[in-house]
Amino acid sequence: MFVARWKIDARFGHKQSAIELMRQWEREIGPQAGTDKMAMQILTGSLGAKEATIEVNHQVESLAQLEDMFAKISKIDAHAQWGKKLEPLVVSGSSYWNIYRVVED
């Protein structure tokens, strides 16, 4: 199992609007790419983290499931339109992915 973590930093004063767009993506776009079959969390910086940071964690069973999600997202027009709405709310260059392997007993 893996956790795919996407992080962005919201521009000052735009964090709540960015979170609302993330929730919209979670409801309307993500399921078209299979995110309804994975656990997903939206987190934001609080203590010991930048307050502007917004992190979206996707729990996936395999890297193949993650690759499938990426392939599907690239073909969804609504995803491209959503990205254009999000762009002015995000610090340029702050977006990146980390993939973590879950250590199980």
What pLDDT does 84 receive?
96
Mean of per-residue pLDDT scores for the chain: 94
Q: Quick one: CA dihedral 92, 24, 70, 44, positive or negative?
A: positive
Could you give the CA distance from residue 38 to residue 59 in angstroms, rounded to a whole number? 6
Class of domain 2-101: alpha beta
- Report pLDDT digits (tens) over 7-63: 999 999 999 999 999 999 999 999 999 999 899 999 998 899 899 999 999 999 999
Q: Give backbone dihedrals phi and psi of 89, rounded to 5 degrees, phi first.
A: -95, -5
Domain boundaries, the chain: 2-101
What's the distance, CA 55 to chain centroid? 6
> What does pTM read for this prediction?
0.88
Could you give the CA distance from residue 1 to residue 97 in angstroms, rounded to a whole number? 16
The letter for the amino acid at 36 is D
DSSP 28: I
- Report pLDDT digits (tens) over 62-90: 999 999 999 999 999 999 999 999 999 99
